[in-house]
Structure 1
Amino acid sequence: MTQASTVTARSTVREVFLVFLKLGTTSFGGPVAHLGYFRTEFVERRKWMDDREYADLVALSQFLPGPASSQVGFGVGLLRAGGWGAIAAFVGFTLPSAALMVAFAYGASWFAGPIGEGLLTGLKIVAVAIVAQAVWGMARTLTPDRPRAGIAVIALLTTMLMVGSVGQIAAILIGALGGLIFCRAAVEDRPDMLHFPVRRAAGITSLAVFAALLIGTPIIAAATGLGGVALFDAFYRAGALVFGGGHVVLPLLQAGVVDPGWVTNAQFLAGYGVAQAVPGPLFTFAGYLGAIADTGPGGIWGALIALIAVFLPGFLLLLGVLPFWNTFRRHAWAQAVMRGASAAVVGILAAALYSPVFTTAVTDAGSFCLAVICFVLLVSWKLPPWVVVLVGAAGGVLIGLL
């Protein structure tokens, strides 16, 4: 059987943790780059799975909401060392960037005066370039034809006209419906797809917990008025509704923490800029936001609540779908729905590029020129994001001094 190579040759939890800790420390460049690092490590170097098995796992992570690269890592850990291996993979891959983002939250007050303010200005401008690159790249991949391009435009209009998470949810639903109607194509069927060792009862339980938290947490937050519950709800909702992971979570997090006034736009974009310079999953940006939010416990505990909340729904959905994945993905309607939802994501991210990213960061000719320079360095020169972050930070200081 195809899965024999991945299930019989088990790994220890410690081995899984150390491998993913190394990846979490060295994997720069966002979720697409992470998947490349993973393939090199698990397919080429360690022979933990073959290319076909790895492609199955990547396809599943792309199908579900949540952080794609972290879900792939969670799946690899599950295959190699069971449930504790999945947790070890998540902690190892997430810990380095989460620690760096929380450290920045504690040290943000150091960025005072002309130089510090210039650094923060530069980080916000870098965010413009990086989000623009994400929109450009995703549009080429996810909207290759007229129907999906039209869905993206409608999603953009919906998000701009309906402010907050309501507009983003509506855009995803419209995209899914549009995909069901306009994006049907030949069914991709593979009889030898990867099978995961997850029982159906465990899958159903995971889906039930996912739904209970999504529906029940906002009710509890409203009834109790507890800031920690409200914080968990905002980040859980963002993690539950983001398709594609990475930069796509930006508008959902912005709606969750900036719109209610827990975090300012300037703080949000400064943290987002720093998140580009650290390795590991971009979702650890949530740790920074939870640490500085004006609701909930703040600090380390606020960061921990935000991190658990933003990652948890993606993992619950992954565990819930694993026992049924091979059967479900063969349906043409399921594939069509995902094509439409993915196209809608492009429109949602394009709306976020305009507001709050562009409108907050680009305030004069100098900031616009620096944003263009950073974009060209990313797209044409193919420089790593962390290098562009350094260029943007230096440019921000120069603009501040001038």
Structure 2
Amino acid sequence: MKDEKEPLEQKQNSEEEEYSFLQEIIKDEAGDQAKWKHDVLRRIQLGLIFGLVACFTFFACKPWVEKRFEEDPTEVTIPQDEQQEEDQTQQEEEQVQEQKTVLTTETYQEMLNNLKQVSGEVRKSVVEIQGAVTEEEFSKDQEDKEKSISGMIVADNGQELLILAGELPVKDAKIIRVTFSGDSQCDAILKSRDAGLGLCVYAVQRKNIADDVWAQIETATLGGSKVVSEGDTVIAVGKLYGCDTIAGYGVIESGENYLDKADGQYQTIYTDVAGDISGSGVLVNIRGEVIGIINTSVRTDDQTNKISGYGISDIKDVIELLSNGKNVPYLGVSGVEVSSEMQGQGIPQGVYVKEVDAGSPTMAAGIQSGDIITNIADTDIINLLGYHNTLMKQNVGDKILVRGKRQGTGGEYVDIDFGVTVGYKQ
């Protein structure tokens, strides 16, 4: 009997083992729903935190990223004078045609209207620049028009609007603002400066200029000043009396004089247009092309109440350097070309050194008054123009070899060599 039970028990045990993997699980649906809601809320919270961190990081890094990845400014190139003979011929033909015209009251009025139209177009390129040390001083001096100057828009490098002007009446100005036509103002910086000629380039960020202001301004068109002559019609636009921007009309009295400066000679243009000694602005021809920059340093004793300035042709290379934020190369030599008559007296061909600026690179190198400069940086020098053009091709800080001649005790000229570091006028 016992033996019969054992197989039966074993059979029951094996059946239990066979179906032991089937277990009943009672699902807590309320608990699962709560867990799901908890996961959703947790993910929403994490998303909000991530979004806040991302926004903070974006705004914190935006200035650095913009500065890092913004496009480099385009290099400014100022075209030099070309085809002057053709321009001169065209000018002479225009003058002949004018002479054939019989002037009446109507034709005279028409001529004035045309000049007024030209000056109106030029005004789009002329701005007012004012500087101050503090914001309080700026607000106080804003009504004082004599503490501002006129400037000319010369270029747009893609990031900045570049403005050529003289030095501000307020020295060491910390705040500089430019006023465009329509009285719209923008902050500016002093980009570069040439103390030798008293010229500066100021820069306004393009992004700070409103679209409606952009529509009202234009870059000035530079002409050539070498073809101007006495009696040519000239228009002066700017702060001619140191106050409001106005236009004055007249003729050129002289365009053949040159002002001696360190490292070059610069054409000066004298007009019969009335103006104050503090006047600033531009001189343009009847086509609206800039032929001169008004500057008080070129005035003579008999020109105190008349507008005058630098001829544009001789300062185009300076404008290009300043517009690109570069300093103007400087050696500090006031010289004169050795003429054929002087060569006949035994003086070597080259540039005769009349004077050396105190503290200049050439003085530091040992160049003296009376020396003859014959070669700069492996370029032969036969006149002052060649000297100037060669110097303008150098970079500030370059160490160059200057070769020349010096008269010995016996009257003969001997070779001299100097190593000179190119500087800039401060």
**Could you say whether these structures have the same fold, taking a TM-score greater than 0.5 normalized by the shorter chain as the test?**
no
Greater helix fraction, Structure 1 or Structure 2: 1
Structure possessing the higher radius of gyration over alpha carbons: 2
Greater strand fraction, Structure 1 or Structure 2: 2
TM-score band by shorter chain is: under 0.3
TM-score between both structures, scaled by the size of structure 1: 0.24
Q: Which has the higher contact order (CA 8 A, sep 6+)?
A: 1
TM-score between both structures, scaled by the size of structure 2: 0.23
